[in-house]
Amino acid sequence: MAQLVDSMPSASTGSVVVTDDLNYWGGRRIKSKDGATTEPVFEPATGRVLCQMVPCGAEEVDQAVQSAQAAYLKWSKMAGIERSRVMLEAARIIRERRDNIAKLEVINNGKTITEAEYDIDAAWQCIEYYAGLAPTLSGQHIQLPGGAFAYTRREPLGVCAGILAWNYPFMIAAWKCAPALACGNAVVFKPSPMTPVTGVILAEIFHEAGVPVGLVNVVQGGAETGSLLCHHPNVAKVSFTGSVPTGKKVMEMSAKTVKHVTLELGGKSPLLIFKDCELENAVRGALMANFLTQGQVCTNGTRVFVQREIMPQFLEEVVKRTKAIVVGDPLLTETRMGGLISKPQLDKVLGFVAQAKKEGARVLCGGEPLTPSDPKLKNGYFMSPCVLDNCRDDMTCVKEEIFGPVMSVLPFDTEEEVLQRANNTTFGLASGVFTRDISRAHRVAANLEAGTCYINTYSISPVEVPFGGYKMSVKKLYQVMY
Ligand code: NAD
């Protein structure tokens, strides 16, 4: 795999085939045993087979957990400052290989190179941040009558499992590993079956940085392999990123052995644009909130509420700029949108647009399959970014998470009305408000039922800022695992 990463400078869209083993435990890459259920993994920009994903069975998951457990006994005994040193070295290696890892991420995931580079930066920053916390973890000293005292100790949980979504493969893997490792835990994580390629590089880098052999492990697979992790008696915690329906199953399965669970789930976030906003900035915010990573972002603000008085100007500008988004080869720096993750995902998103039209929405632009002019992209999973007008709160496109480049625009008249409508959802991940009125901005932020509220900006997630949620979007039982 190191060789594959090193070969990236000369790689181009449509040129890479991954043949390396994609599992990792005991400090080395491992070939999967059972070839019967092999699944092809596609390059979204070309529709070409990039590699084969062979899911891990019970025996292999058990080996990975055993590897983690053995290493945990050493890692958990190390001082925080020693763990920190190793983690900082891992962050340094990622920084050094950032461009190559980003390229591979683009080839597997379909997002643009500009975004992937940002993701890899977010990954090493997260590791660096938690490396900084590792030496600071301490217990309490409690004085009792008569000179007696008690104390608390912060103790790691043991083996923590991570189950990952496909939209930020390397970054989410780093987000799972960094807090767990800082606190002395070991990790086994399972990437999405659609993006198995870069997670294993992270495990290799931790090994190279000097963690005890077998501390960070990767098992490939889909629902069955994920379920094996949730049921494994020696897994102490499951941290899951994915959809609400799967999150519910993960919680249910983990309850059988009373595991700790963290769920980072979906969203249908509202964006409130008031008539006193700086329009240019609000339009930019709406584009950021809908079209990054081809619209496949959990925090996306896909319900765009616009105060009626400025609706015509807003729509004119947002449509003009949406039409100007360059869709095409994600490895070219001028490209702003690549292919969706898979053909079924593309069909699903186009199906949402068709349903929206049936329910009375008007397509102002996009929402069609797109074939870029470059012939090598003719079988890629591209579509034109879409703006829907004439939307109502009861439409499917306004209620359900589409997870594609589709913005639904809705008019509103008053602050009270829009808050009620914005909160009328089972999700509660993120939200945004655009206004020049500072009092209104903070009042609205306080009344929106969402983990994050962006004011006059959108789609930034610095590692220093907590990431939580309301209702079915997030259940964060332990932000930092100990
Ligand atoms: P998904 O729920 O289909 O799959 C997520 C992961 O769960 C995959 O690794 C999958 O293989 C695994 N899985 C599927 N069924 C399972 C089962 N029965 N038992 C155990 N594991 C199982 O989600 P996805 O399509 O990969 O990702 C998209 C979803 O993720 C969206 O809803 C998005 O909003 C959400 N997401 C949330 C965040 C967040 O931080 N809140 C971040 C990224 C993505």
Atom in ligand 1 nearest the alpha carbon of residue 230: 20
Other C-beta atoms closer than 10 Å to the C-beta of 434 total: 30
pLDDT tens-digit map of 81-134: 999 999 999 999 999 999 999 999 999 999 999 999 999 999 999 999 999 999
C-alpha of residue 165 to centroid of ligand 1, in Å? 5
Give residue 474's pLDDT: 82
Residue 482 has pLDDT above 60, yes or no: no
pLDDT tens-digit map of 276-310: 999 999 999 999 999 999 999 999 999 999 999 99
**Residue with CA nearest ligand 1 atom 13:** 223
Give residue 156's pLDDT: 97
Q: Confirm or reject: Cβ of 135 under 6 Å from ligand 1.
A: no
Q: Is 359 annotated as catalytic?
A: no
Residue 2's pLDDT band, with cuts at 50, 70 and 90, is low
Atom in ligand 1 nearest the alpha carbon of residue 473: 41
| Average pLDDT for the chain | 96
pLDDT tens-digit map of 231-261: 999 999 999 999 999 999 999 999 999 999 9
Which residue type occupies 459? S
Structural domain spans, the chain: 2-264, 270-481
- What's the CA dihedral at 306, 296, 293, 353 to 10 degrees? -60
Residue 33's pLDDT band, with cuts at 50, 70 and 90, is confident
What is the chain's Cα-based Rg? 23
Closest by CA position to 186, among listed 165, 214, 225, 206: 214
| Report field, pTM of the whole predicted structure over 0.95 | yes
Closest by CA position to 251, among listed 275, 216, 227: 227
pLDDT tens-digit map of 170-219: 999 999 999 999 999 999 999 999 999 999 999 999 999 999 999 999 99
If one compares 32 and 288, the residue with the highest pLDDT of the two is: 288
Cα dihedral sign, 61-66-72-74: negative
Atom in ligand 1 nearest the alpha carbon of residue 247: 2
C-alpha of residue 231 to centroid of ligand 1, in Å? 17
Compute the distance between CA of residue 72 and CA of residue 215 in angstroms, rounded to an integer. 6
Residue 477 has pLDDT above 60, yes or no: no
Residue 479 has pLDDT above 70, yes or no: no
Which listed residue (60, 264, 401, 449) is catalytic? Answer: 264
Q: Which of 41, 56, 163 to mutate to test the pocket of ligand 1 (most atoms within 8 A of CB)?
A: 163
Cα dihedral sign, 47-224-164-247: positive
For 2-264, CATH number? 3.40.605.10
Give residue 269's pLDDT: 98
Closest by CA position to 234, among listed 103, 70, 346: 70
C-alpha of residue 251 to centroid of ligand 1, in Å? 13
Residue 145 has pLDDT above 50, yes or no: yes
Other C-beta atoms closer than 10 Å to the C-beta of 96 total: 12
Compute the distance between CA of residue 431 and CA of residue 448 in angstroms, rounded to an integer. 7
Alpha helices in 359-414 (DSSP H): 396-399
C-alpha of residue 240 to centroid of ligand 1, in Å? 7
- The DSSP call for residue 357 is H
Q: What is the CATH topology of the domain spanning 270-481?
A: Aldehyde Dehydrogenase; Chain A, domain 2 (3.40.309)
pLDDT tens-digit map of 380-409: 999 999 999 999 999 999 999 999 999 999
C-alpha of residue 5 to centroid of ligand 1, in Å? 26
Give residue 37's pLDDT: 87
Q: Which residues, 6 or more positions from 381, have their beta carbon under 8 angstroms from its beta carbon?
A: 44, 47, 110, 339, 340, 341, 342, 343, 345, 346
Residues 452, 429: contact at Cβ < 8 Å?
Answer: yes
Closest by CA position to 280, among listed 461, 415, 434: 434
Atom in ligand 1 nearest the alpha carbon of residue 298: 34
